């Protein structure tokens, strides 16, 4: 990623818009095939013997009529949302992971992208590059197995199929798309995207969306923050200014340092007591949703200014149509989790959780980094040292979305009765809602139209809430909407 060379800061609007909208636009898109849960992997939620919790909400906040949520960190076929620049990680590690093994196995996915890790475009480009590199080494007509039917895996399979190779895609889930998860739910009056909700301004990705007919629209990202009593507050720039100073300090150091260390060393700890909560607010509503990790884990060399200010568009079509288009005419074995990849000087063998095997001349492994890091996904012989180092060092963040449908949009101010049209009034309404104090939800996205809010939950809060049953989860996130229940007042 580019490093910010100047000393300029970032606007609060850019911070919030990118942090909350960007959280929903980052990859969540590398394929999600992999092993079934193992004793050493992330545990599945344990059924509770306690009574089902009673639906509850704070005063003024109505109960939603419908809810949909993701839980990517707890998902055994994802084990996280998307990659970020952790302390000690470099683009070279991602390049090393993408290198072929014995000219038989290639890796693909957003974790392999040195330029756009954690993004849809990184997954798409990585899959296509891996397929083209394989095609240069292979003989016409060879059989190629692609492990994973997410965006990277399907992009690779599409290239290989079009080049005349015999292709089989092996996918652990019963559906394709990986962390692109488009759910049809009539209660929301639109497709619910539990993975990417926004897309970046990337030429290759834009062309694919256009060819597939997936509609997008500009997203202004107008923001509003309320205190615990519901009063609208003006957020001072001290938080984003402190992050910018920490980044500049980190670039001048010989060793990579965490954002938390850089904040302390660059003077954030010496700020007046009234300013410190706003530094935390900037981290919680900007950095954590954008990276999926806390300040102690994120490298201070991360080009946060560039990520914050990158243009994004709201997906209004069905993003899974992209996966469907790429998969047309390709042999896909869904519901088949790969547990072992065996590489010889002539063949590649895939061992499935069913006990069956798939043989191929070459393979592309396009599973999420978290799956590669689990001991339930094995390689025989062991991967080269450079690949092992990359897998052990790179990190995946945790970000989830929760969709809530209400009978009415209680958080919106009423439309003035002064001749202003509903459309004119809606254009000035805030689209990103945050609270001043710490909360489970980093921020809420108001998509406009139907009374629907999309909450973004990031970092430690995402990992905490992932393990809750739906009713306990709903009760927890509704508390964060209490300050907005007074919006009509």
The pLDDT tens digits for 96-122 are 999 999 999 999 999 999 999 999 999
Q: What is the pLDDT of residues 371-418, one digit of tens each?
A: 999 988 899 999 999 999 999 999 999 999 999 999 999 999 876 665
Same domain, 192 and 260: yes
Sign of the CA dihedral with 398 first, then 76, 185, and 196 last: positive
CATH number at residue 88: 3.50.50.60
Same domain, 279 and 403: yes
- Of 84, 480, 17, residue with least CA distance to 286: 17
Share of the chain above pLDDT 70, in %: 86
Examine residue 138 and state whether it is found in any structural domain, yes or no: yes
Which one of 372, 396, 420 terminates a domain? 396
- Residue 183 — very low, low, confident or very high, per pLDDT cuts 50/70/90? very high
Share of the chain above pLDDT 90, in %: 79
Same domain, 65 and 103: no
Same domain, 125 and 221: no
In the chain, the largest separation of any two C-alpha atoms, in whole Å, equals 77
Which one of 367, 396, 425 terminates a domain? 396
Which one of 363, 396, 429 terminates a domain? 396
pLDDT number for residue 49? 46
Question: Range of 455's domain?
Answer: 12-35+53-76+187-308+398-484
Burial 169-183 (b: 16+ CB within 10 A, else e): bbbbbeebbbbbbbe
The pTM score is: 0.89
pLDDT number for residue 12? 52
Q: Which residue has the higher pLDDT, 115 or 4?
A: 115
Q: How many CB atoms lie within 10 A of CB 455?
A: 23
The answer for residues whose C-beta is within 8 angstroms of residue 105's C-beta and 6 or more apart is: 341, 343, 348, 362, 363, 364, 365
**Mean pLDDT within 150-155:** 98
Same domain, 408 and 387: no
Number of domains the chain is built from: 2
Q: What is the pLDDT of residues 128-149, one digit of tens each?
A: 999 999 999 999 999 999 999 9
DSSP assignment string, 187-203: GGTS-EESS--EEE--H
CATH number at residue 239: 3.90.660
Q: What is the pLDDT of residues 376-389, one digit of tens each?
A: 889 999 999 999 99
Mean pLDDT of the chain: 89
Same domain, 199 and 168: no
């Amino acid at each position: 990623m580019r490093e910010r060379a100047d000393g300029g800061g970032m606007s609060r609007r850019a911070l919030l818009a990118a942090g909350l909208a960007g959280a929903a636009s980052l990859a969540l898109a590398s394929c999600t095939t992999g092993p079934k849960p193992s004793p050493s992997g992330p545990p599945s939620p344990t059924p509770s013997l306690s009574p089902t919790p009673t639906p509850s909400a704070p005063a003024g906040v109505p109960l939603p009529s419908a809810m949909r949520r993701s839980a990517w960190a707890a998902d055994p076929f994802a084990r996280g949302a998307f990659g970020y620049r952790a302390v000690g990680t470099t683009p070279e590690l991602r390049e090393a992971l993408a290198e072929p093994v014995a000219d038989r196995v290639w890796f693909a996915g957003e974790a392999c992208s040195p330029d756009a890790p954690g993004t849809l475009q990184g997954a798409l480009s990585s899959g296509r590059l891996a397929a083209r590199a394989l095609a240069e080494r292979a003989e016409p007509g060879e059989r190629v197995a692609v492990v994973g039917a997410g965006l990277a895996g399907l992009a690779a399979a599409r290239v290989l199929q079009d080049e005349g190779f015999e292709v089989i895609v092996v996918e652990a889930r019963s559906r394709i798309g990986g962390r692109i998860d488009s759910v049809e739910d009539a209660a929301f009056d639109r497709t619910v995207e539990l993975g990417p909700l926004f897309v970046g301004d990337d030429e290759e990705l834009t062309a694919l969306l256009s060819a597939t007919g997936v509609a997008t629209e500009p997203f202004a990202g107008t923001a509003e923050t309320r205190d615990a009593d519901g009063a609208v507050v003006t957020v001072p720039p001290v938080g984003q200014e402190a992050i910018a100073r920490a980044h500049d300090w980190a670039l001048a150091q010989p060793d990579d340092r965490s954002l938390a260390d850089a904040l302390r060393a660059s003077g954030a700890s010496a700020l007046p007591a009234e300013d410190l909560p706003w530094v935390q607010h900037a981290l919680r509503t900007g950095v954590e949703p954008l990276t999926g990790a806390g300040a102690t884990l994120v490298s201070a060399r991360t080009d946060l200014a560039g990520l914050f200010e990158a243009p994004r568009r709201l997906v209004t079509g069905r993003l899974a149509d992209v996966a469907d288009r790429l998969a047309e005419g390709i042999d896909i074995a869904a519901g088949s989790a790969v547990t072992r990849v065996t590489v010889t000087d002539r063949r590649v063998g895939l061992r499935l959780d069913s006990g069956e095997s798939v043989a191929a001349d070459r393979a592309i492994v396009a599973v999420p980094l978290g799956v590669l890091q689990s001991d339930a996904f094995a390689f025989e012989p062991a991967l080269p040292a450079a690949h092992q180092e990359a897998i052990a060092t790179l990190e995946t963040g945790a970000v989830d979305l929760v969709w809530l449908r209400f009978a009415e949009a209680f958080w919106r101010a009423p439309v003035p009765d002064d001749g202003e049209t509903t459309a004119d009034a809606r254009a000035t309404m805030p689209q990103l809602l945050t609270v001043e104090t710490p909360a489970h939800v980093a921020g809420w996205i108001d998509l406009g139209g139907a009374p629907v809010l999309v909450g973004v939950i990031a970092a430690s809060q995402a990992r905490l809430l992932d393990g809750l049953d739906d009713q306990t989860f709903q009760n927890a996130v509704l508390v964060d909407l209490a300050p907005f229940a007074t919006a009509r007042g």
